[in-house]
């Protein structure tokens, strides 16, 4: 389950950020996961919970935002969400489109409480 490794990276990023804000308490971390990233959001949440249970990070909430696959039309530059593997442009019908999103795997936000 590589989601556990990702959960660990997320926690490390939170810890690094917390060090930069002495006294502040990180209450929530948001992660953006594209549907092409090959990450199961449920597994990630589960792994994160397993990782923080019984530690000082136990009450840290994880918010996973999934990002849909997006394409851009090479002919008219329309960007659109790909649904049911339909890659043709909904604007002009062109078949030549390129993938521009959906493989995200990044921190979206940190929510902190100042004492
Ligand atoms: Zn188009």
pLDDT, tens digit, 9 for 90 and up, residues 34-45 = 999 999 999 999
What pLDDT is recorded for position 91?
96
* The listed CATH number (3.40.640.10, 3.30.110.30, 3.30.2320.80, 3.90.180.10) that belongs to domain 3-113: 3.30.2320.80
Q: Judging by DSSP bridges, how do beta strands 25-34 and 61-67 pair with one another?
A: parallel
Backbone φ and ψ for 66, nearest 5 degrees, come out as -95, 140
Residue 16 burial (CB count, 10 A): 9
Compute the distance from residue 47 Cα to the ligand 1 centre, in Å: 41
Distance 87 CA to ligand 1 centre (A): 11
Q: Are 19 and 109 in contact (CB under 8 A)?
A: no
pLDDT band at 1 (very low <50, low <70, confident <90, very high): low
* Domain extent listing, the chain: 3-113
Element (H, E) at 71: strand 70-73
CA of 30 to the centre of ligand 1 (A): 33
pTM of the model: 0.84
**Is the pLDDT reported for residue 67 higher than 80?**
yes
Percentage of the chain with pLDDT > 90?
92
pLDDT one-digit tens code per residue, 80-113: 999 998 999 999 999 999 999 999 999 999 999 9
Alpha carbon of 75 to ligand 1 centroid (Å):
5
Q: Calculate mean pLDDT across residues 6-15.
A: 96
The tens digit of pLDDT for each residue in 19-34 reads 999 889 999 999 999 9
């Amino acid at each position: 389950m590589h989601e556990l490794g990702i959960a660990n990276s997320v926690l490390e990023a939170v810890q690094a950020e917390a060090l930069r804000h002495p006294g502040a308490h990180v209450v929530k971390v948001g992660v953006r996961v594209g549907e092409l990233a090959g990450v199961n959001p449920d597994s990630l949440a589960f792994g994160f919970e397993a990782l923080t249970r019984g530690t000082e990070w136990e009450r840290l909430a994880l918010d996973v935002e999934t990002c849909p696959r997006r394409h851009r039309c090479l002919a008219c530059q329309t960007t659109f969400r790909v649904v049911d593997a339909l890659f043709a442009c909904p604007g002009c019908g062109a078949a030549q489109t390129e993938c521009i999103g959906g493989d995200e795997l990044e921190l979206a936000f940190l929510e902190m409480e100042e004492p």
